[in-house]
Structure formats: structure tokens, C-alpha cells
Structure 1
Amino acid sequence: MSDTHDKCPLPEYDGYLLPKFPPLVQDTDKRMTAIRDFKSEDTDILICTYPKTGSNWVYEIISMLVQGHATYLKAFKTIGMLEVSDLAALADMTSPRVLSTHVPFRHLPIQHLAKGCKVVHILRNPKDVTVSAYNQCKSPLVKHICDADEFPGTWDYFLRDFFENKHNFYDGFIKYEKDWEVAKRTKAVTNVYTMFYEDLRKNPIAEITRLAKYLEVPSNEELVGDIAEKCSFVKLQNAAETFKTDGPKTIVDGKNVLFRKGTVGDWKNWFTVAQNEQFDDYLDRELKGSTLEFKYEI
């Protein structure tokens, strides 16, 4: 990545910040408009997540389900990520196309929602999301696409930044998920399957079986079992390091920055008692009147 790219300001769109992905840096408005105007196919599957909530993991699972066998793809999810990929080239992707994005609900492809194409929305508890985001933003591999001034700084600074929604990537966690809550309640999205990271971690067989039913793809106990095994954290981490060749580098200084821990409850190793109380108070205020609920341990 060039020094010019590293030093450029974070892209901004409709009041929120975006990572320094090349298409967004080159012309933010053009790429975001292209996402809204993206030509959807009836069989498209769109994975919608806030960052660090399991999109890479679920991308692998869905790809194996639509293939009908538990074989890793050479490419990472970025091959079909709307903020990053060559959108014109996606026309040549084999159907059903497994696509992904972190953009807020209001900026999703218009055709995809209008046609009632499949959407998989994944949620994860905000404490683990925050810890995971901090570690990724600090990594040498990713820092150049999200750094700005003193950000991400220390863990304490990062938490305060989260409370203030200062570096509100993709609208910030709270607004992103509350907008999805409203979209589901008002039927602005009609064909959506909601998954929770913690449920998938606790009972992958049951969750993959339900996902296959939603996707309307053939499956059986053997296939689901094979996929659950291949997509266990250790196996998927190893595949990212040794098998996948079409995509970003994942190992920096001996550490996998894409698949770090994959656990539920790692936040307990980071939050002080005071920070946890402050975070809980923040959630109580911001989620007042919301039906959103999260699982912080399994």
C-alpha cells in the first residue's frame, strides 16, 4: 500500500466513516452509489454484518452449503465484498453468488431488497466485537485502512472513542444494529435470516442445519458435520494461513490477524470492572426501547 494511501483521510459517506479500501478512497460517492445500483440476481445471497461479527466464518459455511461439499475456496470473502471487489466482474461469478457487505441497511443494493433476495444478517455481542475490532485496528496488516490521528490508540482510548461514536465506521455498532432492527420490524426487508455468532459457536450443527434450510440447499447430517468440522476455528484459521491464496495476507509477526481467537467472552480479559460497568450503562441508554439482546457468554 502506498504512503499516499496510508496518509489519506478516512473516506466519509452520509455521516459515517469507512475503511480505506481502494475503491472507497478513489471515489467514495461513486462506489457507494454503485453498491446501491448493483444489479442483483434472484439467487444472490448477501451476508450483511457489522465488522468483526463473523462474516468470514459464515461466508465459508454458506459457500460450502451451496457447493454441496465441505471444500475450502481459494478466495476469501473479499472476492464478493461489495466495498472491495470489482463489481463488474461479479457478473461472471457462478450462481448462486455469495456476496457480503458491512454497509448500513439504508445503503444496501436496492434491487436485492426489492426482489426479496436472500439476506443473512449476523449479530455478535458488542463487547467481543469491540475487543476484536481493537485488535484488528492495531495490527500492522489492517492499521493502514482504519488509522487516523491517534486512533486506535490505547484500549482505554478506543473504548472512549466507541462511547462517543467518534470513529463511527459503518455508522457505529449501535446505529447499525438498531437500523436493522427497524428494517425487520417494518418489513423493509422481507427475506432475511438472522444468526447469532454465539449460537453458531455453541451449536454449529444445529445452526448450519437451520441455515441450509433457509438457503433451500440440499443437506444431510454428513455434509453438515463435515462443514462444521472444516469451519471450526482452528481448521479455518489454518486454511486461511496455508490454503487460501486469492486474497489478503493474514499472518503478521506470526499472528493471524483475520482469525484471532474466535471465542465468546474474550471481553472479560480486556474490560476492567469500571469499564464493564460503563459499557453496560452505555448500552442501557443507547438500547432503551430496543428489543435487541446479546449473549456475552456460552
Structure 2
Amino acid sequence: MTSFVLTDEGGATMQLVDIDGYKICNFYNSAEEEGELVRALKTFECRDDDVFILAPMKSGTHWVWEIASMLLQGKAETIPKRKSKNMLENVPQNELNDIPSPRILNSHLDFKFLPEQLFEKKCKIIHILRNPKDMAVSFYNHVKGITCYAYDGEWQHYLKLFLEEKLEYGSWFGNVLSWETFVKANPSYPVHVIYYEELQKNNVSEIERLAKFLGVDFNDQLVNMVSEKCQFSNMSKDKLVSDDLRKLLYKGNFTMYRKGAVGDWKNWFTVAQNEEFDRVYNQKMKHSALSFQYTI
């Protein structure tokens, strides 16, 4: 594993870690530390009641993690920690082992890095999908706003890297196709698929659906309270980090809760960029049955 500098067509650079050709954020670790952490995940000891949120970057993992955590604790109270503290590729295993059960862990990693016991024990998986145009815009703002990437490139150059599958966590197309194949091939495996846009549009019914999957006792009052507490406007205030941590992690006024809207991509894509995106999408996803909502 080595430090890796990705350069876009405009000459802007992005700091990443290369793990056998697979690029990820360094999470403020050295390349060696991050590589060892990720490689060790194959033998990570899972618990029977672990729940894993597994999704591509910027698909709504923070949001769903908060909702699921509230459902498991049975009360609509802000979780006093950040989702990243339960993230496989961000936290040493000894710290993950200290988390009390039931753990809601999360990752954006490809299948090849995930714990073997996750599948052996058939741990519950929540898989989130978001339309890739909004996801790409959110991803761009994420990378520009977090200090460890040291990136200040322009949107058009970043979009080209996305379409060429050169960014962190590899190919979005490959990731979602792998999960589509897995779900289809393993109909009895406990995978709960959430579409970001459906969670926006039908929040209460989607939270009820998730509660049933998690097997928790719930009633209309709890679901409605969780729905209200996890509205974007509330989470953007409740999940603020301290000023000292903000200065370390983020540039300017960056926040993990930037907009949360469906259709923001229209404010970023030119007509030509949208046509090129559609061309690439149609080529790479031609055998997929997945369908995304780009507006609601």
C-alpha cells in the first residue's frame, strides 16, 4: 500500500491511498496504517446481531445509520457519535470490538474487502442506492470540503474522473452491479434495499419498512418521532462537530449535511455533461434492472 496522488485534467491533485490498485481515502492515517486496517477486515469477527450498512459513497449512509440506530435504541434521540466511528475502513478493530451490541457498522468498500464472517453468519445488511447524478455532485463537494483529500479541482474535471472510474472506492457502476447480482443470486439472504429518493418521498413508510427488517418493536409514535428527528434540517443542526474538529477535518463551511435534495444535479450538469453521463450509464448498466429517480 502506498500514498497515491490522483491528478485531474485541470492539474488539481487528490491525496489517496492505493491498496493493490484500489484507491480510498487515508482517513488521516499513514498509507501503511490504512492499508493494514483494510486488509485485516477479511478476518474481522462479526457478531450474530451485527447490522451492516453497505453502500456507495454519498448515498445516504449517515442518514440511514442515524435512523437505524434510533430504531434499535427505541427512542428518537440524536445518536451521540458520528457514523464514521462505526466505519470498517476508518476505525481499528479493537475500537469496533468495544462497541456494544447490537452494532450498526458501515462501509463503502467492495465485496473483496468485507469480512468473511459477515456472509458466513448471514448478518443483516442494509444496502442504499441513490441516483448517480446526485451522488456524483455530493461526492464532488465531499472531496472538496474534507481536508485529507487536499483537492480543489473543478466540477467538469471531477466528473470525468467519476465516469472513467478512477476515484476513491473504484467504480460506482461496478459496485452497484455487484450488489444487484448478489441480491438476485441470494434471495434468502437478509438484505434490505433502500432507495434514497424513496426515503425522501415516503419517509414514514420507509422507516416502518426498515423497522420490520431490523425486527424491532415499534409503533406509529416512534416511527413519526424518528422521522421528524431525522429530517435533514434537524440532522444538519444536531450532528454538528466541535469547532476544533471542524478545523481539523473540514474546509470553510463544509458539512456532511450539505443539501440532501433530490435533483440538485440539475444545478451542476451542463447539457453536454448530462448527455455524456447518460451515454456512459447506458453502456455500463445495459444489463441492469435497477431504476433510479432523478427528480421527485
Same fold (TM over 0.5): yes
Matched, 1:192 2:198: no
Name the CA distance, whole Å, in 2 between partners of 1:111 and 1:11.
25
Corresponding residue for residue 114 of structure 1:
120
Contact 2:37 2:92 in 1 (8 A): no
Residue 83 of structure 1, CA deviation? 0.9
Q: Which moved more, 1:106-115 or 1:51-60?
A: 106-115
Measured against aligned partners, the alpha-carbon deviations of 1:198-221 in whole angstroms (never above 9, x if no partner) come to 000111100000000000001110
Corresponding residue for residue 219 of structure 1:
218
Measured against aligned partners, the alpha-carbon deviations of 1:15-48 in whole angstroms (never above 9, x if no partner) come to 3210011456233442122211110000001100
Corresponding residue for residue 230 of structure 2:
231
- The CA RMSD over aligned residues, in Å, is 2.3
Residue 288 of structure 1, CA deviation? 1.2
Corresponding residue for residue 10 of structure 2:
none
The structure 2 residue matched to 1:80, chosen from 86, 91, 94, is 86
Corresponding residue for residue 260 of structure 2:
262
Contact 1:43 1:117 in 2 (8 A): yes
Name the CA distance, whole Å, in 2 between partners of 1:13 and 1:287.
26
Name the CA distance, whole Å, in 2 between partners of 1:282 and 1:161.
12
Corresponding residue for residue 17 of structure 1:
23
Task: Give the counterpart letter for 1:164 in structure 2.
Answer: E
Corresponding residue for residue 95 of structure 1:
101
Name the CA distance, whole Å, in 2 between partners of 1:31 and 1:145.
17
What secondary structure, in the 3-state scheme, does the structure 1 residue paired with 2:257 have? coil
Contact 2:22 2:169 in 1 (8 A): yes
Corresponding residue for residue 3 of structure 1:
none
What secondary structure, in the 3-state scheme, does the structure 2 residue paired with 1:160 have? helix
Change (3 A) 1:263 1:72: same
Residue 256 of structure 1, CA deviation? 4.2
Corresponding residue for residue 282 of structure 2:
284
Measured against aligned partners, the alpha-carbon deviations of 1:107-129 in whole angstroms (never above 9, x if no partner) come to 21110111111000001000000
Matched, 1:129 2:135: yes
Matched, 1:46 2:52: yes
Name the CA distance, whole Å, in 1 between partners of 2:283 and 2:245.
38
Residue 14 of structure 1, CA deviation? 4.0
Name the CA distance, whole Å, in 2 between partners of 1:163 and 1:252.
26
Residue 222 of structure 1, CA deviation? 0.3
Task: Give the counterpart letter for 1:276 in structure 2.
Answer: N
Q: Given the two structures, how large is their TM-score scaled by the length of structure 2? A: 0.89
What secondary structure, in the 3-state scheme, does the structure 2 residue paired with 1:10 have? strand
- Structure 1 gaps, min length 5: 1-6
Q: Given the two structures, how large is their TM-score scaled by the length of structure 1? A: 0.88
Residue 196 of structure 1, CA deviation? 0.5
Q: Which moved more, 1:8-17 or 1:198-207?
A: 8-17
Report the number of matched residues. 283
Corresponding residue for residue 61 of structure 2:
55
Name the CA distance, whole Å, in 1 between partners of 2:107 and 2:129.
14
Task: Give the counterpart letter for 2:160 in structure 1.
Answer: R
Measured against aligned partners, the alpha-carbon deviations of 1:143-185 in whole angstroms (never above 9, x if no partner) come to x3334xxx56111111111122222x11221111111111112
Q: Which moved more, 1:217-226 or 1:87-96?
A: 87-96
Residue 75 of structure 1, CA deviation? 0.5
Name the CA distance, whole Å, in 2 between partners of 1:273 and 1:227.
39
Task: Give the counterpart letter for 1:88 in structure 2.
Answer: N
